[in-house]
Amino acid sequence: MIIAPLRRLKNRMGKTFLPVLFLLFFLITSGILYSSVRQQDTNYKEGQVAEESIRANKTVENTPATEQKEKLAAEAVVPEYTYQEDITSEQHELIEHLFDMIDDVRQDSEEENEKREEEAENNDSVDKVTEDEKLAAMKKELEKIDSDNLNFYQQLPASFYRTAFSLNQEELDQVKEESLEIVDQRMSEQIRQNDLNTARQNAEEQVKVLDLSDEQKEATSYLVDEGITVNTFLNEQKTEELKQEAKDSVQPVMIYQGEIIVREGSQIDSTAIQKLNVLGMTEKNQSFFPFVAIVLAALLQIIVLLYLSIPVKDKDKRENQWVFYVVAMTLSLVFMKFFQLFQTEAVPYIPLFFPAAFIPLVLSFFVNRRSGILAAAFQVVFAAFIFYESVGTNVLPVILIVYMFSGLMGTILPRRRISHQGRQSVLWIVVFPFLISLTLLVLQGVDFADSQTWIALACSLAGSILSLLMGVGLYQLIELMVTDDSDTVLNELSNPNHPLLKKLLEEAPGTYHHSMMVANLSANAVAEIGGRSLLTRVACYYHDIGKLKHANFFVENLPQGAENPHNFLLPEDSKQIIFGHVVDGVAVLEKEKMPQMVIDICQQHHGTTLMKYFYVKAQERNPEVTENDFRYPGPIPQTKEAGVVSIADSCEAAVRAMDEPTNEKIKDFVSNLITDRMLDGQLDDAQLTLKELKIIQKSLINGLCSTFHSRIKYPKMKSEAEKMKEEQERSD
């Protein structure tokens, strides 16, 4: 189980633990993947900075842009104008008629003055016609004017008429002559509406330089300003025809699929917004196909994981594998998503920094190789979703192939600590994945003068090195979290100062030394067949810990010369005591929360073997006693390590009890014992091959022969000085 809190959580949740686990795994996986493939936020605003490059999702005509282009083409057309020459003569005639009317009023005024003088008596003063009367007479003349021309005369201010009536005839004729000349000159040119002010200003400048009085210049200015008017008009029909021709010549503006609408880091302008609208990329309708694909991928992973676990018969082991895989793959997805967040057009190969070999490597070491391969495969599947924005580019194939290759290389390494594999781990995890990255980049024809190529190679190399460093550096920590028999824990348990070992030494010294010797024999044999040597050694230290409860009922703990207590017990009672050391040992180890493998070896080291001595004694008293009554409760050894301990334990005890053991006796005994255990079915579940059994046999014989070259007795409950004295006397 991964760390103790999860074990406790599993116990509290019971049967609901696994469904909840897989449901959370499904939701987390789907959520991470969907965040990469979902339609991006469509709330684009003008002036907003694009967080990533926006590409066209299809080829379509940009109708608004085409229309804008047509509008510009139409506006570029030079308008057609028509010059109306008759307006010049009309304005000339209006001015001449004006002076005719002024002359008429002046003449009428003079006649009126003469009449008044004749009617006046001698010496009486005569009231001549005033300016107001002249203005009134002028208004009467204007009433005779056609309405179409009346506006021209009404635009002239009253001050003009006053000035005109104040001037003498010669001065008025000068005003008329200069006004007509300037108006005719300016009106001979084409004057459009937007040129009118300029023409009038130019005329004003001419008036200023005339050799006239100020009153004459003022009157002339009024006439020139009013006399100069527009004489060139827009030919709308012809202009529209030209504009239409210009529009028809414009080619449609197209938006092509894959075209970059807005580059990352650039502001979204009105043109980009218009393109996004045309492409329909601002619509909020989400496609359900990516979501369906994510659901299928997540479910497929869970189904394959469950199917791979079918061969694992042990329920707890199977569930632990599921939890480990779920946690590992969740971390893998999180890491992958992390690197995707930093992927930009400037550094498209940053995902190669992802340590693709690490998770398959860890699963291969701590679960099994098939789980590692499964993780390597689904890392590639999920990468296709996470780096969905790179679809259609040369980047995605490189990422996927490198991930697959690196993951598989991680599962090829032998299942032992990476730090112990040296050059081999560097080749499989660093060198080979880097070379495949280089190969793929060369295949794409990259330019080695381009900095992007070197960035891609650097990311790939860094990712491979990161996988190796994480594998080496985190191995021990992961081992502590996911197993209860890590090297750190086993080294602590092998310390002679451990309370249980100290208690065993003090209360059952014979059993203690027996355990030490079995540990040496077993550890050496297990190491030669590639098993877990340290675990085996520690398990042997504690495999007889149950003897503490009745230490003096085991012969190796009896003082020299002491009577065997079993001589005073019935065989059935002795059987219960002897059997009890296994059950009591398991209880003690479980209470001390020892590694499960240590508990299992304690429980399995006698298997279901027959306790022959007490069985024979019981049969002498009761012939109806069966073998099953005197067999250990088992189970039989379930692992190679337990099988080796079972054999070594019996061999050491038997050889120790031999009178004058010789190499030949030891060899025959070990060979016969292994054969008997095989025939008795004790090694059926130990997963030991015949080849391995031969290696074990040879190792045990060598170890026993080097130790028991003569009969060795266990130290009794007396001082070391007494023991040495007795041995010296025997040798003499």
**pLDDT of res. 517:** 93
Question: What are the CA-CA distances from residue 7 to residues 32, 258, 322, 391 (Å)?
Answer: 26, 51, 13, 42
For the entire predicted model, the pTM comes to 0.57
* Measured distance CA(353)–CA(459) in Å, rounded: 5
pLDDT digits (tens, 9 = 90+) for 110-160: 888 878 777 776 556 667 778 788 788 888 888 888 877 888 888 888 888
Backbone angles phi, psi at 465, to 5 degrees: -65, -40
Residues 445, 448, 454, 460: is their CA dihedral positive or negative? positive
Half-sphere exposure of 192 (CA within 13 A, CB side): 8
pLDDT digits (tens, 9 = 90+) for 452-492: 788 888 888 988 899 888 888 888 888 777 777 778 888 88
Domain residue spans of the chain: 3-38+291-482, 81-234, 488-731
Helix, strand, coil: what percent of the chain each, to 5?
Answer: 70, 5, 30
**pLDDT of res. 718:** 41
Question: What are the CA-CA distances from residue 407 to residues 295, 386, 413, 522 (Å)?
Answer: 23, 17, 11, 36
Low-confidence ranges of the chain (pLDDT < 70): 1-7, 38-43, 57-58, 121-126, 256-258, 280-287, 345, 390-393, 561, 709-732
Q: Which helix (H) or strand (E) holds 22?
A: helix 17-37
Label residue 681 left, alpha or beta by phi (over 0 means left) and psi (-120 to 50 means alpha). left
SS3 (DSSP) at 362: helix
Backbone angles phi, psi at 554, to 5 degrees: -115, 125
Question: What are the CA-CA distances from residue 258 to residues 58, 261, 391, 400 (Å)?
Answer: 7, 9, 11, 21
**pLDDT of res. 283:** 58
CATH no. for 488-731:
1.10.3210
**pLDDT of res. 75:** 83
**pLDDT of res. 713:** 45
Angle at which helix 663-679 crosses helix 640-656, to 10 degrees, equals 140
